[in-house]
Amino acid sequence: MPITADIDIVNAACALLSIDPLQSMGDEMPGGQAAQMLYDPIVELCLGLAPWSFSRRTGQCALLASVTSLLGYGYVHQLPADRIGLPDRLLADATVPGSAIQAFEYDEEDRVHSDWNPLYAQYTWRSLPGRWHPVFRTAVIHAVAAGFCELLTGNSGMAQDLHQKAFGTPSEAYRGGLMRAALAADGRNTPARRLPEGSNPLLVAWNAS
């Protein structure tokens, strides 16, 4: 059966733990917490580890025409609400990869101040498991199983083993184990990014000569 939804990931993790599958993400686990409350932070951690090609989106930032920048910039835009973390890049033109802007500031209200309008953000969003690379999906299953393990089975040793299989050793900063393989696999599907125009001083000097 293909894994296309969040509940499929949870039940694959339950299978690793040899426990009965859940019927929905709202089902309560021991201790009274819904599966969704335990699952969401793990998935967002995994998606936030890298600019995954299967979970990258480019969206236009909404201009706040009635807001004046107190930081000295010409425009204030609202960042897209569906992102995980801050954007990877801000673009002056969504169709030109090399149009990343360099001068901007974020504020505490999820707004960005810059001298560009329109403005676009390239960011990570919460894509569904059906879009994930199979290696990443396997890493997340093991990470979710590790998160559920001690709560559901009381076996801290098994939880540690599952966490290490998903992420590697502590020195690898969550980029070892299956996640390392996922990073390598996704890197093969991701084209090299062009540098913003004028950002390479060697090329600028060459063209000026």
Tens of pLDDT, residue by residue over 114-144, are 999 999 999 999 999 999 999 999 999 999 9
Q: What is the pLDDT of residue 152?
A: 85
For residue 9, what are its two tokens? 């990931």
- Asked if residue 136 lies in contact with residue 48, where contact means CB atoms within 8 angstroms, the answer is no
Q: Please list, in sequence order, all residues whose beta carbon lies within 8 angstroms of the beta carbon of residue 55, skipping any fewer than 6 positions away.
A: 47, 124, 125, 126, 127, 131, 132
What percent of the chain shows pLDDT beyond 90?
78
Nearest CA-CA partner of 78 in 87, 96, 70: 87
C-alpha dihedral, 38 to 42 to 45 to 47, nearest 10°: -120
SS3 for 83? strand
**In 48-176, alpha helices (H):** 134-153, 156-167
**Residue labelled with tokens 């966490």:** 163
Q: pLDDT at position 151, please?
A: 83
- Entry pTM: 0.84
Going by C-alpha positions, the residue among 115, 120, 1 that lies closest to residue 60 is 120
Give the DSSP H/E element, type plus range, for residue 205.
Answer: helix 201-208
Enumerate the domain spans of the chain. Answer: 6-51+132-187, 56-124
- What is the mean predicted confidence (pLDDT) over 63-67? 97
What crossing angle do the helices spanning 134-153 and 35-47 adopt, rounded to 10°?
140
Q: Quick check: helix, strand or coil at residue 166?
A: helix
CA separation (Å) from 43 to 9, 34, 67, 70, 168?
Answer: 10, 15, 34, 36, 17
The yes-or-no verdict on residue 1 having pLDDT over 90 is no
Number of other residues whose CB lies within 10 A of the CB of residue 90: 24
**pLDDT tens digits, residue range 17-48?**
998 899 999 888 776 778 899 999 999 999 99
Q: How far apart are CA 26 and CA 29, in angstroms?
A: 9
Q: Say how far residue 101 (Cα) sits from the centre of its chain.
A: 21
